Amino acid sequence: MLLPLTNNGGKTENEESNLVDIFHDYDWSTTSLGPMVSWEPAFKATVHH
């Protein structure tokens, strides 16, 4: 099932912004994904939206 890209799950704009900040501030280098700078452009585009 595909969800509309505009669906924010009932979060306010501020809550959504906080989630984006948390996501970007996370140290992905400690995971199997590795640091964000090493991610493929298509994967980055998927998780940034």
User: 44 and 36 in contact (C-beta within 8 Å)?
Assistant: yes
Domain ranges of the chain: 13-47
User: 49 and 5 in contact (C-beta within 8 Å)?
Assistant: yes
Which among 19, 24, 20 is positioned nearest to 37, based on CA atoms? 24
Question: pLDDT tens, 15-48?
Answer: 667 788 888 899 999 999 999 999 999 988 887 7
CA dihedral defined by 21, 45, 10, 3, rounded to 10 degrees? -160
User: 33 and 39 in contact (C-beta within 8 Å)?
Assistant: yes
Say whether pLDDT at 11 is over 80.
no
Would the pTM count as exceeding 0.85?
no
